[in-house]
Structure 1
């Protein structure tokens, strides 16, 4: 399958690279998706801005997952229990 160059930043991949293997796009695939590219252009969002947003969201999700696996996050540890109403 030929590469479709949508951005000059080098974040390009073959369109349909994950077809049949996964329902979610990787960050690289999202940066190359033609529909996402059209929305970004319409919204005035650069590839680098979108890449930073996706990477920050991925980092936050990984942190939350790690915290939940390790017995809860700091937020849960400092939260006061709700009072019971009788």
Structure 2
């Protein structure tokens, strides 16, 4: 894979990369650091504390988990109330 292609694929990380910034929903979600068994997530925003310190097999898996947490933030307590009826 050429370097230009690699940069457009968020789940592909060059072997020389030490720490990557993961952005989700316009926010800096956290930092991904290489670990012997995958990638370790370090939260930069309280929204992503639930996955802070977790080990992921790939950057793609980490991004999916962070996107899920970001989507939960969009739900307000008002949206979770029972339907009147």
> Which of 1 and 2 has greater Rg?
1
TM-score by length of 2: 0.38
More strand by share: 2
TM-score by length of 1: 0.37
More helix by share: 1
